[in-house]
Chain A
Amino acid sequence: MIVANYVAAGILFCIGLLTVLTRRNLIKIVLGLSLMEASTYLLMVSMAYRRHSTAPVLTSPPDGKSFADLVHGDVADPVLQNFCLTAIVIGVAVTAVFLSAAVRVAQHYRSVDADDMTALTG
């Protein structure tokens, strides 16, 4: 039931979105964005899964399988695993940017409440 993973990823994404939309605390907004980001990791890893498959490594095929079995697709999807791998690293750096901006805003306004950020209000 890999569809359950897909739906769980969708629900996680929407919980993060709901946090971003309904919370005014900047730290909670960053947490919501991180949750949305993490939901995509779950989605990609779930999409890479194949039943009765093995890792996409062309060494020592398991019993009953040959290199031809591996090369011809009896493995998890390596492209999506690659997407997930790089997305995690980029996500850490982007979260650091969000948090740095939140700290600077807090120092400038002495508040982490987004409703207090009124400098651009006409």
Chain B
Amino acid sequence: MSDRAAIEHAKQEPRAEDDLHRPVIGFALAGAVLAVLVIGVVDLPRAAAALPFIARHAMEIALPKWGQNEVVSEIVYGSRGWDTFGETFLLLAAVVSVVTLTRSPEPRTEYVGESMAGRQEQQEVDPKGDGSGGEQQEARQAEENEEDDASDLAPNSDNVPLGTPGPERAAGMSVVVRVGARIAAVPIAVAACYLWLWGYTPGGGFPAGAAIMGVAIVMYTAFGHRAVRPAVRPAIVEPIELLGAMAIIAIGLFGLLFKDSMFANYLTLAVPGTIRAGGTNQLYSGSEFIEVATGLTIAIFSLLGMKHDWAPDEDGDDSEEDGSGSSEDRSSDGDGSGDAS
């Protein structure tokens, strides 16, 4: 049974909304989980409880062993350095998953001769090889038009005069939002860099990376994708992210080499409160900043930049179901989308 036929078959069956079994089971399970959670949380430490051993241990070693005042940073990059390493590569795995899910379909290679067969077919459809062959050219043209749509309407959102009657043609938002974004982006970026380089020494690469990514999101929201495209191109961000990941691995391995322990400090400790405080933790924090900032940027902009790779119609007669938006999408999808199958 094809996917489309299966959907139609499923729609003919009694739907869950026609009966109450889903809400009843949902409320019963959620209520049971809530009861277990309430029983559990009443025994959790209260506000007057003593700190657990591991927290007290971290407080005691932060200054003498790592030479740093910020205990949370000491835990992130020191006491739990190995765990942070695992979490970082969990982040990297998530980014790879997003990139894999969001990328456009790739042409098939010579795996079982499909490419050769495809070339023969292409030769029959398009003997000149210049893309002048009917439907394919139309589909390609439609896709190019869609990509250039924003630039055709408003090359620069700042060029749209105030009071221009609607509909809004600018790729960005109103002048109020654009000015607000310009003003907000600078202190956010400065705060992120301060947190990265200094913080309570060493800085906090994790929150700083998320904050600097916030600048890109603010600019994207206010000015549209074209304004941030040069800074968030995969060709730029992906190598930087991999460099950050390699730096983290190198910092850990040098600790193993020099001090017999992954992520052990092998640098001379500087005076607490100075920019070099924390030994290798400052390097780890900087690498983490790169990794988090670029990783989140890749994940979010890959998601925002997903193309309209809609599955082609099997029967071609349901155009009235999806409205004009879907028909536009289909027109730009002449080569099908086997990636999701």
Q: Let me know if A72 and B9 touch, CB within 8 A.
A: no
Given contacts A10-B38, A72-B59, A86-B206, 15 further A-B contacts (CB under 8 A): A7-B41, A14-B31, A22-B27, A72-B56, A73-B51, A85-B76, A85-B206, A93-B94, A93-B98, A96-B302, A100-B98, A101-B101, A107-B309, A108-B3, A108-B337
Q: Let me know if A14 and B34 touch, CB within 8 A.
A: yes
Q: Let me know if A119 and B3 touch, CB within 8 A.
A: yes
**A50-B47, A78-B75, A90-B90 are contacts. A3–B41 as well, Cβ < 8 Å?**
yes
Can you offer 9 A-B residue contacts whose CB atoms are under 8 A?
A24-B16, A59-B200, A79-B55, A85-B206, A96-B303, A100-B97, A100-B102, A104-B340, A115-B10
- B164 interface residue per 8 A CB criterion: no
A47: chain B residues at CB < 8 Å are 44-45
Q: Let me know if A14 and B48 touch, CB within 8 A.
A: no
A115: chain B residues at CB < 8 Å are 10, 15-16
A92 nearest CB across to chain B (Å): 6
Restricting to B3-41, which residues have a CB under 8 Å from any CB of A? 3, 6-7, 9-11, 15-16, 22-23, 25-27, 29-31, 33-34, 37-38, 41
- Chain-A contact segment, one of B63-71, B138-146, B167-175: B63-71
- B210 interface residue per 8 A CB criterion: yes
- B290 interface residue per 8 A CB criterion: no
Residues of B with Cβ closer than 8 Å to A?
3, 6-7, 9-11, 15-16, 22-23, 25-27, 29-31, 33-34, 37-38, 41-42, 44-52, 54-56, 58-60, 62-63, 69-72, 74-76, 80, 84, 87, 90-91, 94-95, 97-98, 101-102, 200, 204, 206-207, 209-210, 272-273, 292, 295-296, 299-300, 302-303, 306, 308-311, 322, 326, 337, 339-341
Q: Let me know if B55 and A108 touch, CB within 8 A.
A: no
CB-based closest 6 A-B pairs: A21-B26, A6-B41, A10-B37, A108-B340, A93-B94, A22-B26
Contact with B along A39-81 (1 / 0, CB 8 A): 0000100010111000011110000000000111101011111
A7: chain B residues at CB < 8 Å are 38, 41
- Describe A's contact surface by its main secondary structure: helix
A9 closest partner in B (C-beta): B41
Q: Let me know if B52 and A79 touch, CB within 8 A.
A: yes
How many positions in chain A have a CB within 8 Å of any CB in the partner chain?
61
A70: chain B residues at CB < 8 Å are 59
Q: Let me know if A79 and B54 touch, CB within 8 A.
A: yes
Q: Let me know if B303 and A89 touch, CB within 8 A.
A: no
Contact with B along A91-107 (1 / 0, CB 8 A): 01110110111011101
Q: Let me know if A118 and B101 touch, CB within 8 A.
A: no
Q: Let me know if B296 and A93 touch, CB within 8 A.
A: yes
CA distance in complex: A110, B296 (Å) = 28
CA distance in complex: A96, B273 (Å) = 37
Q: Let me know if A58 and B69 touch, CB within 8 A.
A: yes
Q: Let me know if B94 and A118 touch, CB within 8 A.
A: no
B59: chain A residues at CB < 8 Å are 56, 58, 70-73, 75, 78
Q: Let me know if A10 and B23 touch, CB within 8 A.
A: no
Q: Let me know if B273 and A56 touch, CB within 8 A.
A: no
Q: Let me know if A110 and B310 touch, CB within 8 A.
A: yes
CA distance in complex: A90, B297 (Å) = 13
Within the complex, which residue of B7, B10, B47, B84 is in contact with A2, where a contact is CB–CB below 8 Å?
B47
**A107-B308, A107-B311 are contacts. A96–B58 as well, Cβ < 8 Å?**
no
Within the complex, which residue of B37, B48, B75 is in contact with A82, where a contact is CB–CB below 8 Å?
B75
Q: Let me know if B72 and A81 touch, CB within 8 A.
A: yes
B41 nearest CB across to chain A (Å): 4
Q: Let me know if A56 and B71 touch, CB within 8 A.
A: yes
A2: chain B residues at CB < 8 Å are 46-47
Q: Let me know if B210 and A111 touch, CB within 8 A.
A: no
Q: Let me know if B311 and A108 touch, CB within 8 A.
A: yes
CA distance in complex: A84, B69 (Å) = 20
A10: chain B residues at CB < 8 Å are 34, 37-38, 41
